[in-house]
Structure 1
Amino acid sequence: MVSCSFVQNQENSCNLACNRIDAIPMLTDQRKKAILEALKREGQVLAGELSAKFGVSEDTVRRDLRELAAEGLLQRVHGGALPASPAVAPIAERRGMEVAAKRRIAQKAAGMIAPGQVVIVDGGTTTALLVECLPRDLRATVVTHSPGVAVALAEHPTIEVVLIGGKLYKHSVVTVGAAAVEAIAHIHADLYFMGVTAVHAQAGLSTGDFEESYVKRALAARAAETVVLASAAKLNAASPYCIGPIGMAQTIVVERSTDAKLTEPIEAAGVTVVRA
């Protein structure tokens, strides 16, 4: 007959063995994979929570986040990380991303423009589609810092085009710098169609270039209403340079099939979401 004390000792030994297994630290690659899985599942990760979950120091977690950020797999923010936007790729590469969704968003945005309005149109692949969707009989003024947008409208019979000059930022093919900001200060527009690389209810609107973020802020300040055009990949994501809080936009246009989980935090922040 087995004594109770022997059974208890066996149970204790088993528990100790299990605890030792649990205490074995995850390998770096395993932690990184778990971090990315949590980011995909929850939309954000916090360094403190990851530290407790993995049983490692916050310095170790921050190193993991730093390395993942260097690979473009996430965007570090204060206290943790958010999903990185894929829209920071060069414009030639972005032209082939989510084309059908961007075109539906562009068509919806084009329908917001009323005759006689002064409209600011940002650079970007979605806004390039927007100008293609404008009716041939629309009479309006388009202000832009995108040479591509200006050229696309050069043969439009009834749209006046104002091109903002400055230093050409080749990645997005738009003008930036002090000259651009100075010219923008003299504009009063009805609408500003803003292109962004990322939209997040807490982290706000962001982009991949420091100078471009200043120009976008300046443009938003000169329009009665700012409309952000955002395909699903840009939602609940962040890029390195903040343009402004989510409330800088009055309206965000998304594709009709966009998951409600991505748009509900934006609406809760007081921004109108229009589905195209």
Structure 2
Amino acid sequence: MLKEERFQIILDKLEQDKKVYLSGLSSLLNVSEDTIRRDIRDLADQGLLKSVRGGAVPHAPGPMHFRDRLSYDTEQKRVIAGKALEFLKDDQLVIFDGGTSAMLIAQLLPRDLRLTVVTNSFPIASILEEHEHVEVLFAGGRLLKNSFVTIGTDAIGFFRKFRADVCFLGICSIHKDLGVTGPHFEESEVKRTMVGVSADVIALATLEKLGTAESHYVCPTDRLAAIVTDQSPDNEVFDVYRDLGIRMV
């Protein structure tokens, strides 16, 4: 069997099962585990999957640049944003990260809701500038241009000054074993700080983001108080997260 044929079988199996193992692929393709390990490394170098110990998991689908994400899965994100409003009440201090789902929550905030919002997102700060009862505290730092957020030591130090009631975390990838991860090191560092200073962390994720992984660690999955998706919370796919004590919304 040609290497390219093995590659396609590995990718098809990964799409079907959401995780592949060296031993299983070795038996399926009748080659050594060392050969499968090299195949997975090659596919990872092409950005087609995420290599993990003992096998591989998918990368999160979808575009990385903020402008492109604005028009990706828009209806699903509106469902998520509407559901997420139930976690808000007057006089909370709330952290908004730079995700497009978090931005939609900012757009949907009731006009009489009183909040203090801490964010590193330029679009979210701009939206909330027009909200009469929301005080906005903005984290300075270096601009990450493809996400329109600030990053670096200044942003991290700013978030460390607060103890938030709720953190809305736009998710690139969640995996029950590998945790919450992201594609950019410095942005993931800022998100990890947001998580560390927050009482409840609410993950905002379309269904396709679950069971995937990226290179940079944010937090363990069981640190999440809830995962808000565009699907019915009764979906049996979510059982692995409920087993961790996470509320599915």
Q: TM-score range by the shorter chain?
A: over 0.9
Which residue in 1 is equivalent to 2:219?
Answer: 244
Determine the C-alpha separation between the residues in 2 that align with 1:260 and 1:133.
Answer: 26
Deviation beyond 3 Å, 4+ runs, structure 1:
none
Distance 1:66 1:154 in 2: 46
- Partner letter of residue 210 of structure 1? F
> Over aligned residues, Cα RMSD in angstroms?
1.5
Report the TM-score when normalising by structure 1: 0.86
| 1:49 CA drift (Å) | 2.2
1:102 aligns with 2:74: no
Aligned residues: percent identity? Answer: 39
- Correspondence for 2:59 among 76, 84, 89: 84
What residue is the counterpart of 2:177 in the other structure? 202
Structure 1 89/168 Cα, relative in aligned 2: closer, same or farther at 3 Å?
A: same
Alpha-carbon separation, structure 1, partners of 2:205 and 2:197: 21
Report the Cα offset of residue 48 of structure 1.
Answer: 2.6
What is the correspondence of 1:11-30 to structure 2 with a 5 Å cutoff?
26-30=1-5
Q: How many residues align?
A: 249
TM-score normalised according to structure 2 size: 0.95
DSSP-derived class of the 2:212 partner:
coil
Could you say which residue in structure 2 is the equivalent of 1:33?
8
Equivalences for residues 196-235 of structure 1 within 5 A? 196-235=171-210
Which digits, 9 at most, give the CA deviation of each residue in 1:33-87, with x for residues without a partner?
A: 1111211222100123212322222232122212222333211112210011024
| Aligned ranges 1:35-50 → 2 under 5 Å | 35-50=10-25
Q: Which has the larger radius of gyration?
A: 1
Q: Which of the numbers 115, 133, 136 marks the counterpart of 2:90?
A: 115
SS of the equivalent of 1:120 reads strand
Partner of 2:235: 260
Q: Deviations over 1:155-175 (max 9, x none)?
A: 111110000111111121111
1:220 is displaced (CA, Å) by: 0.8
Deviation at 1:107, TM superposition (A): 1.1
Partner of 1:13: none
Is the 1:236–1:262 contact (alpha carbons within 8 Å) kept by the matching residues of 2?
Answer: no
1:172 aligned partner, one-letter code? S
Name structure 1 gaps, 5 residues minimum.
1-25
CA distance in 2, matches of 1:201, 1:270: 12
Structure 1 residue 257: Cα displacement: 4.5
In the TM superposition, residue 244 of structure 1 has moved relative to its aligned partner by 1.4
Q: Which runs of 5+ in 2 are unaligned?
A: none
- Are the equivalent residues in 2 in contact too, given 1:200–1:266 (CA < 8 A)? no
